[in-house]
Amino acid sequence: MQTESPAIEKEFMEYVKKISHYNEAVGLIAWDLRTGAPRKGAAQRSEVLGSLSSEIFAMSTSKDMKNYLTELRQESNWEQLDEVTKKTAEECEKQLKKFENIPPEDYKDYVILTSNAEVAWETAKDTADFDSFKPYLEKIVAYNRKYTEWKGYEGNKYNALLDDYEPGLTVDVIDEVFGKLKEALVPLVKEITNAKDQPETDFLFKPFPAKKQEALSREILENMSYDFEAGRLDTTVHPFAIGLNPGDVRVTTKYDENDFRTAVFGTIHEGGHALYEQNVDKKYTGTPLCTGTSMGIHESQSLFWENFVGRHYAFWERYYDLLKKYAEGQFDNVGLEDFYRGINVAGPSLIRIEADEMTYSLHIIVRYELEKALINEELEVADLPEAWNNKMEELLGVRPEHDGEGVLQDVHWPSGAFGYFPSYALGYVYAAQLKKAMLKDLPDFDNLLKKGDLAPVKDWLTAHVHQFGKSKKPLDILKDATGEEINPDHLIDYLSTKYRQVYGLSL
């Protein structure tokens, strides 16, 4: 007979549920601010976010929380806790460690600051006016520097931030992984750039009405097993997906009427994130475990779908006809082979979110090296635009003409997400490892795509990644799913094989 859970455990889980409710409200407000909230209400809404985030902060670091955690850790209690409660307690301990030394007032001010900074950034970006945004970014960087000290770290200061987004990874490991990527990709990019046999791309840039793109995007999302009864699709400036609870996971996208790729690949990408959040085991609802385990693993899901599915030849064997159905004659004279080469055109460019999969990691490495330097006080915000431009030239061989297409292009710094960027490239590395492992279970992967039968792919990812939510650590997920530690070789192999082929170079 099962002993009844002790009162302390129930109380703790109720307390945790309340925090999850506040987080859900914060998530909805964030979604709303980015999808259509009226401009004039935004400053006041930032204060609402500040109040709610402060409350989350206060609850996560309260005496009550500390008492719960101490009591649960008592041996007589700990042993009889169920798995969900145990993992929840561990996650709360992690949050407590993250927050407990931050002065509450600083934290609240910071939440309001970043909310206002996002609004200021929108204008600064549109007008390429770094100076108007500089005061915000200086305050944000200063806070993050202090934060690393409040939180503590081993080795590099930046490790304190990494731990928030990709626990288990350190500057040492990332420097090695990114070093290998640079070593392989910088010459590959040059080789591709100089290849004689460049793909045709004219046909990509013809008018494709937004309404038609939307219909296509919805059809692909449905094929991916995205559940529209547990989500919705909206437009925004900087697309994202957000899981409020497993029954409400929203995707956003944007439509460029002269380049359908923005919406199609963007939606597949965000759909990959959304599938993760929709398929976390329901038993974690109302706990901090009910979300993706890390930004890197999250990105492995979006990039898996975007690149290993969406940019695969076999995928378009099925979906090219569908695309043609929605397009207005744009591809009538374009064969599948040319289409495939066209959508996989690669080469140096300025904008990360429009970058191809070959150069994408290099865009990330630019940001990683800059933010690592900012946090370690080896670089100041005033010098950032110049440093950005130099780094772009060094890794990608291109230099922005203004900050709107340079240092101001991403929402991450305005929103205070220092330590986030590496996850994109790490996720990509993980995705290549997952693909390798998936092929063992689904050797007919290409054929599934060709048939448009995407459910087995989604089911494999749910079984190996999604279902665990945050109850399993990122590197454990990777290890259990692939049998390996982090290893960039699979990504390098994939990229050099694919792009040598697309560009007609010897393998």
Active site amino acids: 270
Which of these segments, 18-26, 91-99, 129-137, 347-355, binds a copy of itself (CB under 8 A)? 18-26
The only residue of 119, 230, 314, 505 in contact with a copy of itself, by rule CB under 8 A? 230
32 binds a copy of itself (CB under 8 A): yes
Residue closer to a copy of itself, measured from CB, 290 or 432: 290
The only residue of 11, 18, 128, 473 in contact with a copy of itself, by rule CB under 8 A? 18
The only residue of 10, 73, 190, 232 in contact with a copy of itself, by rule CB under 8 A? 232
24 is in an annotated binding site: no
Taking a C-beta distance cutoff of 8 angstroms, is the pair 408, 125 a contact? yes
Taking a C-beta distance cutoff of 8 angstroms, is the pair 273, 220 a contact? no
Taking a C-beta distance cutoff of 8 angstroms, is the pair 351, 405 a contact? yes
The only residue of 8, 42, 195, 398 in contact with a copy of itself, by rule CB under 8 A? 42
Sign, CA torsion 376/380/385/387: negative
Shortest distance, CB of residue 468 to a copy of itself, whole angstroms? 20
Which of these segments, 17-25, 141-149, 157-165, 177-185, binds a copy of itself (CB under 8 A)? 17-25
Taking a C-beta distance cutoff of 8 angstroms, is the pair 327, 260 a contact? yes
Residue closer to a copy of itself, measured from CB, 21 or 86: 21
38 binds a copy of itself (CB under 8 A): yes
What Å distances lie between residue 24 and 19, 30, 198, 211, CA to CA?
Answer: 9, 10, 47, 30
The two three-digit tokens of residue 127, written as one number? 């007008």
236 binds a copy of itself (CB under 8 A): no
Among the listed residues 13, 2, 3, the one whose alpha carbon sits nearest the alpha carbon of residue 85:
13
**Interaction pattern, residues 267-286, with a copy of itself; x per rule: CB under 8 A:** ------------------xx
Taking a C-beta distance cutoff of 8 angstroms, is the pair 30, 240 a contact? no
Which of these segments, 112-120, 135-143, 230-238, 252-260, binds a copy of itself (CB under 8 A)? 230-238
At 270, which amino acid appears? E
466 is in an annotated binding site: no
The two three-digit tokens of residue 320, written as one number? 């090219």
Sign, CA torsion 474/478/484/490: negative
Residue closer to a copy of itself, measured from CB, 65 or 365: 65
For tokens 């008492």, name the residue: 67
Three-state DSSP state, 46 = helix
299 is in an annotated binding site: yes
Which 241-270 positions form the footprint of a copy of itself (CB under 8 A)?
Answer: 244-250
Residue closer to a copy of itself, measured from CB, 111 or 434: 111
Segments in 199-240 forming alpha helices (H) = 210-223
Shortest distance, CB of residue 52 to a copy of itself, whole angstroms? 6
Among the listed residues 291, 283, 287, 247, the one whose alpha carbon sits nearest the alpha carbon of residue 14:
287
Residue 50: how many CB atoms within 10 A of its CB? 20
If you ran DSSP here, which 8-state letter would residue 203 be given? G
Which 43-102 positions form the footprint of a copy of itself (CB under 8 A)?
Answer: 43-45, 47-48, 50-52, 55
Which of these segments, 24-32, 70-78, 154-162, 367-375, binds a copy of itself (CB under 8 A)? 24-32
- In sequence order, what are the beta bridge partners of 235? 253
Annotated binding site: 269, 273, 299
Footprint of a copy of itself (CB under 8 A): 17-18, 21-22, 24-25, 28-29, 32, 36-45, 47-48, 50-52, 55, 227-232, 244-250, 285-286
